[in-house]
Structure 1
Amino acid sequence: MAAPSTLGRPRTPVRTPPAARGGRRRPRPAGWIFAGPAAVLFTLFFAYPLGASLLQSFTSEDAGTTRWAGLGQYRRMIDDPAFLESLSNTGLILAVQVPVMIGLALAVAVLLNQSWLRFRGTWRAVYFLPAVTTLVAYAVVFQVLLKTDGGLVNQLLGAIGLGPVDWLNSPAWARVSLIVSLTWRWTGYNAVILLAGLQTIGKEQYEAASIDGAGTLTTYVRVILPQLRPVVLFCFVTSTIGTLQLFDENYVLTRGGPDDATLTPVVYLYKVGFQQLDFGYAAAIAWAVVALTGAVSLVQYLVFGREHR
């Protein structure tokens, strides 16, 4: 049977999509319905507070009246010894705690990546557990452990004939206590990230290095570490950001003391804003921390990430 002829029949015109004709595609109402709540929440709880705090950093309170101060609050920080002390404390923590923590995390990651290690999944979970502990809870635990009178650490020191240490009331030992607590909590977190990087390196890399006569240490230094450079950079940057925003641990342990030995910019911001009620200056400190965080992260990227740009 022959197919019916289509000659003489009017053809249905084919419509060209607006995008193909160079016109703009109209947004569909369904898209706005789904995106609208998220956009409203973003504006109310992020964009508006962010803009308001930036504007507030250029104002000051004078006898209950808000007046425009320009860059006065930022110039005030330059001559504020407490703020400069908080920057010095943060720099010390960055210089000591972050490299030590990343080094320990790398050693743990290498250990957890060994094929001869039994119960590797269990060990990984154990090392990662401190990272899921709430900040305040673990800081309170360290506060109890490091008590001068009756603390477990001093009891252990006494058992081996060493005198008690005033961990939280001595400026030097308070810094040590804070660094130890931070290292305990975040080493496992960074170790898991570095472990993920190690597992992307094929076994043939190790075998090729072994054939060339490289020992274990040489293999890791010359072959493995260069390939882990982006992961190590990520750990350094995130750890730096966390240190510059440090608040919970040192506030619970020492309230920023003694003698401002563990005072950080965020703790100082809290004291200025919520104890002294100087919100304009507190907002300026917050934006100074944002600028400092961005600058330090950029320097780290330029120094350590040049080969991967």
Structure 2
Amino acid sequence: MTSYGLRRRLAGWVFAGPATALLALFFAYPLGASLLQSLEGGFGNYARLAGDPSFLQSLVNAALILVVQVPIMIGLATVLAYTLNQSWLRFRATLRVAYFLPAVTTLVAYAVVFRVLLRTEGGAVNQVLGVEIDWLNDPAWARVALIASLTWRWAGYNAVILLAGLQAIGREQYEAAAIDGAGSLTTFRRVILPQLRPVVLFCSITSTIGTLQLFDEPLVLTGGGPGDATLTPILYLYQVGFKRFEFGYAAAIAWAVVALIGALSWVQFRYFGKERS
């Protein structure tokens, strides 16, 4: 290597050095340290997970949100995106901003607002419905409240992403469908949805990751209760690590969640990311 090439390489490392050092200090080192901490005493912490009813219940709760809330949210976001993309809709820009606004509110702030709205006595939701539902203290209703709050916050966010995908579809495809005599429903099913497959997959994967990382909403709304009805894996990790100070076990929970996220993402890429003939 010439002296000029060596100087260029050294200059590159000089500029990249600070960022590399910060990455190693605040990302790589904590990651490796947490893995080693989770393996204190061998694989005992991981074996303990299999018999921990609270951890297993947190996985059940996360699975329930994945199966119920995520499809509802993405379906609603798709309908919103399709509507916001129509040329006949007035004030489209204003509506797009309005639907996206929940995503930029702070997690704790909006969870506190929902907690106030869903109070059993004097809550605005019960007053509007004319009933007295114990939203936050009944296990079934607490799950409904959590799912509703998540849908309110993230439906508009995903709608904006899906809207970008819709706007990337060429007008000629709509025109070709119209020439073939396809109606609105057929066009949506045969033209729009296949084109949106990568965007829907992206929304699905990010929503899966977000579900397994849920913390603020269940903490503020219900504290993970009643019982463990709304306990999530990350909320349980917080309880184990920062209330019981079992850091090795908390690290094992974190790595179990990482493995689960990786497995679910792979499944989604493998089976839902394929083009259908």
TM-score interval for Structure 1 and Structure 2 normalised by the shorter chain: over 0.9
Please name the residue that 1:52 is paired with. 33
Root mean square deviation of aligned Cα: 1.6
Please name the residue that 2:259 is paired with. 291
CA distance in 2, matches of 1:111, 1:276: 49
For 2:21, give the aligned amino acid: V
CA distance in 2, matches of 1:251, 1:99: 23
TM-fit CA distance, 1:31:
2.3
Please name the residue that 2:271 is paired with. 303
CA distance in 1, matches of 2:162, 2:58: 30
Q: How does 1:257-268 map to 2 (within 5 A)?
A: 257-268=225-236
Bigger helix share: 2
Q: How does 1:125-144 map to 2 (within 5 A)?
A: 125-144=97-116
Please name the residue that 1:43 is paired with. 24
Question: Is residue 104 from structure 1 mapped to residue 72 from structure 2 by the alignment?
Answer: no
Question: Is residue 205 from structure 1 mapped to residue 157 from structure 2 by the alignment?
Answer: no
2:220 corresponds, among 219, 244, 252, to 252
CA distance in 1, matches of 2:160, 2:117: 27
TM-fit CA distance, 1:33:
2.8
CA distance in 2, matches of 1:89, 1:199: 36
TM-fit CA distance, 1:30:
3.1
TM-fit CA distance, 1:226:
0.5
TM-fit CA distance, 1:25:
4.3
2:86 corresponds, among 98, 101, 114, to 114
2:66 corresponds, among 84, 94, 118, to 94
CA distance in 2, matches of 1:28, 1:293: 37
Deviations 1:144-165 (A, max 9, x none): 000111111111122xxxx200
For 2:101, give the aligned amino acid: L
Task: Please list every run of 5 or more consecutive structure 2 residues that lacks an aligned counterpart in the other structure.
Answer: none
CA distance in 2, matches of 1:273, 1:28: 43
CA distance in 2, matches of 1:244, 1:53: 19
Please name the residue that 2:135 is paired with. 167
TM-fit CA distance, 1:307:
2.2
CA distance in 1, matches of 2:7, 2:184: 62
Larger Rg over CA atoms: 1
SS at 1:169's partner residue?
A: coil
Please name the residue that 1:8 is paired with. none
How many residues in Structure 1 have an aligned counterpart in Structure 2?
276
CA distance in 1, matches of 2:168, 2:51: 50
Deviations 1:75-103 (A, max 9, x none): 00001111100000000000000000000
Question: Is residue 238 from structure 1 mapped to residue 206 from structure 2 by the alignment?
Answer: yes
TM-fit CA distance, 1:272:
0.4
CA distance in 1, matches of 2:122, 2:154: 27
Q: How does 1:23-42 map to 2 (within 5 A)?
A: 25=6, 27-42=8-23
SS at 1:228's partner residue?
A: helix
TM-fit CA distance, 1:27:
4.7
CA distance in 1, matches of 2:249, 2:267: 27
Q: Give the TM-score taking structure 1 as reference length.
A: 0.87
SS at 2:275's partner residue?
A: helix
CA distance in 2, matches of 1:291, 1:43: 22
SS at 2:16's partner residue?
A: helix
Deviations 1:252-305 (A, max 9, x none): 100100010000100000000011110000000000000000000110111111
CA distance in 2, matches of 1:76, 1:259: 21
